A and B are shown apart, each in its own frame.
Chain A
Amino acid sequence: MAVWLTVPATWVGRAVVDLVRAARNAKRRRRARIDSRATRGITLLREWLSPRQREQFDYYNFFEVVGCDSGKSYRIQHGISTNVIELDRDGRPRTGWCLVPEGNLVAGDVMLAQKIALETDERGALAVARQFLVPPPLRAELAPTL
């Protein structure tokens, strides 16, 4: 009787261990895929940034673009949404703009699409964007200059 109970219990135990192991491996593979996608996105972005923007991005994790229609400056921060900040003449945050490319894109791709849109079709980009309020900066948070 004891043997009849022990054998299935061993099988179940092994099956559970296998399942946990498979789930852990799948999670690891998924993490690696996401990391690889994110890295590719940042590589593409860096290739398309101007030398000054690349320097800014590497140092501060954001870069600035100039709108082709108004000449206003925008700061594009690392992120996939609510990451475009319009700056005033003194480089202080004035208002936020949320515009993102359709689809599930990585941060590098999102930031690159935002940069190109503002530099080549600012009016069209802002026409579809949603505004959001940005808090006034603390003195220490004012835009640094390179």
Chain B
Amino acid sequence: MATQIVMDHSGDSRHHFDTSDLKALAEAERRFKVLTGHGFTAAVRQANGGVSLLRSFDPGVEETLFFPRLVGG
């Protein structure tokens, strides 16, 4: 089971999906494109504790975090 975590006003919203389910995978890919299209950045945790950015949907990623565009405060 993979998870997409989206930061929002409620803290975060979590979308779980089965990576072996093609329909769920297509929906997850659509969500990825919509969010990144709206300026969200997608990030994944590395095994060594680091973080990297995800430029395109990867069905093999277990957990993806989306955060909104950063602006000067």
Contact = CB atoms under 8 A, between A and B. Distances in A.
A and B interact: yes
Interface of A: 36-41, 44, 48, 50-51, 81-82, 98-106, 108-109, 112-117, 119-121, 125, 128-130
B53 A113 contact: no
A116 B41 contact: yes
Classify the interface of chain A: helix, strand, loop or mixed. helix
Contacts, number: 92
Contacts of A82: 73
A44 B70 contact: no
Given A104-B9, A116-B43, A120-B53, A81 B73 contact: yes
B63 to A, nearest CB: 9
Interface of B: 5, 7-12, 39, 41, 43, 45, 49-53, 65, 67-73
A103 B9 contact: yes
A37 B73 contact: no
A107 B45 CA distance: 20
A99 B10 contact: no
